[in-house]
Amino acid sequence: MAKIDTLERLMVEELRDVLDAEKQVLRSLPKMAKAAAGGELRTLFEEHRQQTTGQLERLKRVFGLIGEAPRGKKCKGMQALIEEGQEMMAEVEAGPVRDAVLIASAQKVEHYEMTAYGTLRAWAARLGHEEAAGLLEQTLEQEKVTDGRLTGVAESLVNPEAASQVAEEEQPRRRVRRASRAGGVGARARKAAGRKMPGRKTASRKKKMSSGSRAASRRGNR
Ligand SMILES: [Fe+2]
């Protein structure tokens, strides 16, 4: 490949990069919408998919304005961001915690795009491509709005729900802690109570239980 020796050439290369990045985003958004448990988040992803279609059209107009063919060039940065997001997503069950992953991943993508468009707008303006700079500015603003909406959904809905989700193996212990807090019994008092009330009754009942029914009762406690 010929060396890039002008800002104009550099801008074209970056435009090709962001064109491919947008195509990758367009492909990944339906998967993200499908994976979202919350209706608000799903709607946001669906709306951003529509918006991304418009952004691709706008980018093609930019290519036209500077007299270049709208050819993409594999954007490795976006590829890595999307792959990483999908790997994380696969490790989390559907629900508010997965929605938190989806938002985190989507905001990394948004910030990457905001950086790209901010740079491109500045270069286009510097090189006298005013109309192209205006179009790039429009997309930059859309990405900022989307980023803000993601923050809004995270802070008002997803994060509070995700934070209240308790790990399954933690649940019985949490219940004991909450019960003791409610009754005002401290750890030392609980220990003393345990000594005064030996588990004889419990132990004898346990002895009578078959291992099968013990397992069933354990399951029932969950
Ligand atoms: Fe975009």
- pLDDT, position 184: 41
My answer on whether 135 and 198 are in the same domain is no
User: What is the whole-number distance in angstroms between the Cα of residue 169 and the centre of ligand 1?
Assistant: 40
User: What is the whole-number distance in angstroms between the Cα of residue 221 and the centre of ligand 1?
Assistant: 48
Instruction: Tell me which residue range forms the domain holding 187.
Output: 170-220
Asked whether residue 73 is assigned to any structural domain, the reply reads: yes
My answer on whether 99 and 189 are in the same domain is no
pTM of the entire predicted model: 0.75
Ion ligand 1 residues within 5 Å by Cβ: 52, 55, 113
My answer on whether 140 and 34 are in the same domain is yes
- Which one, of 92, 78, 65, 63, lies nearest residue 162 by Cα? 92
> Domain count of the chain?
2
Confidence class of residue 1 from pLDDT cuts 50, 70 and 90? low
- pLDDT, position 166: 84
- Which one, of 46, 148, 163, lies nearest residue 100 by Cα? 163
User: What is the whole-number distance in angstroms between the Cα of residue 22 and the centre of ligand 1?
Assistant: 5
My answer on whether 160 and 186 are in the same domain is no
- pLDDT, position 174: 52
Residue 17 sits in a domain whose CATH number is 1.20.1260.10
- pLDDT, position 198: 41
Round to whole Å and give the CA distance between 139 and 47: 14
Round to whole Å and give the CA distance between 45 and 158: 14
Confidence class of residue 172 from pLDDT cuts 50, 70 and 90? low
My answer on whether 97 and 185 are in the same domain is no
- pLDDT, position 51: 97
Asked which of 123, 148, 164 is the last residue of a domain, the reply is 164
Q: Is the pLDDT of residue 146 over 70?
A: yes
Asked whether residue 2 is assigned to any structural domain, the reply reads: no
Round to whole Å and give the CA distance between 55 and 27: 14
- pLDDT, position 29: 98
First to last CA, the chain: 62
DSSP E strands, the chain:
none
The tokens of 1 are what? 């490949």
Round to whole Å and give the CA distance between 133 and 112: 18
- pLDDT, position 217: 40
My answer on whether 68 and 176 are in the same domain is no
My answer on whether 189 and 204 are in the same domain is yes
Determine the average pLDDT of the residues in 165-186.
57
Determine the average pLDDT of the residues in 142-155.
98
pLDDT tens digits, residue range 2-26?
689 999 999 999 999 999 999 999 9
Nearest-5° Cα angle at 151, 145 to 152 = 90
- Which one, of 95, 104, 99, lies nearest residue 168 by Cα? 95
